Structure 1
Amino acid sequence: MIQTLTQSQFIPTDPDRVWDYFSTPANLNALTPPEMKFQTKGNPGPMYAGQTIAYRIRVAPMIWVNWLTEIRQVDPGVMFIDEQRIGPYRLWYHEHRFEPKDGGVLMHDHVTYALPLGPIGDLVHALWVKRQLKHVFDFRREAVDQVFGQK
């Protein structure tokens, strides 16, 4: 079954600073919970459409997953889309939007995703993945607050 996750967060900081941070793939490490031991492979450099980013992530104790993401679209200062090419999901499509607002930026995430294995994947989603993704995005919200001096 196809699932969605949406989140918005206001960042009271200069839009260029926000874009520079989120369009730098190396910053993914700081936005991922430490227990997931996120590891970018190589140095992906600045973001561009068509770029692929390889990384390794621990999804559970002693369970590591290699993930390859392609940056599908970039509209500098406005949005970018990443899509899983290789990884744990049957579908992972993540749209990041940045809307200047009230002297800062309203950042929107919209993720469309699905697990493999049909009904078994749906059960795993209900029992574990949905909660894990909430944890990841809650951590990310706190990390963004710290990076941009809100906490």
Structure 2
Amino acid sequence: MIYTLERTQFLSCSLEETWRFFTNPHNLATITPDSLDFTVLNTFDEEEIYEGMRINYYVRPLLGIRLAWQTKILEVHPQRSFVDLQEKGPYKLWRHQHEFFEEGAGVRMKDTVQYELPFGILGTLAHRIVVRKKLREIFDFRYQTLEKILNDADID
């Protein structure tokens, strides 16, 4: 079964600043909870993603088990959107679309993640018990971190 997670957030900064932050692969670990022990393996000369770029990481999503993960940047529409797709990792499908819309004095950012777990009915059960909650926690952390970094909010 394919699930969809959607999140939106208003960022009170320019489209250029928002785009620069999200397309810099060095910022991935910043918006990921420490509990995932997210480690980017690539060394990048580039400060911005590009179509075809592959990013390799280690992550510990559950029970401290370290997994290799590789995503490929499928599409880049400068200052509008980009899409990354898992090529290797814990999901049967992971497609993450990032969209950016100028709105008033800032930017409305929208994340749409389509994902599917392996293992059939066991994957469905794991989603109900653990995965759905874990993904919400990850994106809640991301929201709060972006509030602090790009919105200068003082969140406890």
What's the TM-score bracket when you normalise by the shorter of the two chains? over 0.9
Please give the per-residue CA displacement for 1:39-86, whole angstroms capped at 9, x wherever unaligned. Answer: 000223320001000000111233011000000000111000000000
Report the TM-score, using the length of structure 2 for normalisation.
Answer: 0.94
Verify: 1:133 aligned to 2:135, yes or no. Answer: yes
Query: 1:18 aligns to what SS in structure 2?
Result: helix
Q: Distance in 2 between matches of 1:150 and 1:127?
A: 32
Q: How does 1:13-28 map to 2 (within 5 A)?
A: 13-28=13-28
Q: Let me know the Cα RMSD of the aligned residues.
A: 0.8
Runs (4+) of structure 1 moved beyond 6 Å? none
> 2-side partners of 1:150 and 1:62: how far apart?
31
* Aligned match for 1:150, one of 141, 150, 153: 153
Segments of 5+ residues of structure 1 without an aligned counterpart are none
1:103: Cα distance to partner? 1.1
**In 1: Cα distance, 2:43 partner to 2:9 partner:** 28
SS of corresponding position for 1:63: coil
Q: Deviations over 1:97-136 (max 9, x none)?
A: 0000011000000000000011110000000000000000
Paired position in structure 2 for 1:92 = 94
Aligned length: 151
Gaps of 5+ in 2: none
Supply the distance in 1 between the matched residues of 2:144 and 2:59 (Cα, whole angstroms).
20
CA distance in 2, matches of 1:62, 1:107: 31
